[in-house]
A = this chain, B = another copy of it.
Amino acid sequence: MSEPGWRVVLLLAGAFRQGVDALHSELADQGYPGARPLHGFALQAIGPEGCTINQLGQRLGVSKQAAAKTATGLEDAGYIAREPVPGDRRAVLLRRTERAEEFLAASAAGFEHVVDRWRRHLGAGRFDAMVEALAEIADDGRPIGDLPGWLTQRPST
């Protein structure tokens, strides 16, 4: 009973934040100074094959309107392009650009770097145990794209 409960939850937030901060400081050094955490998540959700706005919303766990805004942002930043969908003139295919692929590669490498620092600091044994424990606690499989909204929106119904 050394740690009060709230502190454990805060440690999770702190570690997450520490990881994301370290990643973005690295990305900034590599030519992506304006990158925001959500960029990576959304591009990952779009996938190498691309997807429509509705699909993006479903994959991120947000409304299609929110997905549309995200897509606009990504397009403005040069990370995606809109293509027509052959056979359905309503739909629009969001497709990652070259720049997006490079960004994702840099991002993956950055994550690897950050996590490796943790592994070296803790030692492989403790690190693996921690990851395993986290995997049992975090209810996986839920989309995480709505992280920002989740913090601010009131716990719905």
> Which A residues are closer than 8 A to B by beta carbons?
2-6, 8-21, 23-25, 28, 33-38, 40, 107-108, 110-116, 118, 121-122, 126-131, 133-140, 142, 144, 147-148, 150-155
Complex formed: what's the CA distance from A154 to B38 in Å? Answer: 10
Q: How far is the CA of A35 from the CA of B33 in the complex (A)?
A: 35
Point out the residues of chain B lying under 8 angstroms from A2, CB to CB.
Answer: 128
Q: A129 — nearest CB in chain B belongs to which residue?
A: B129
What CA separation (Å) do A45 and B3 show in the bound complex? 19
**Cβ of B18 and Cβ of A139 under 8 Å apart?**
yes
For the complex, give the distance between the alpha carbons of A139 and B122 in Å.
14
Q: Are B155 and A112 closer than 8 Å at their CB atoms?
A: no
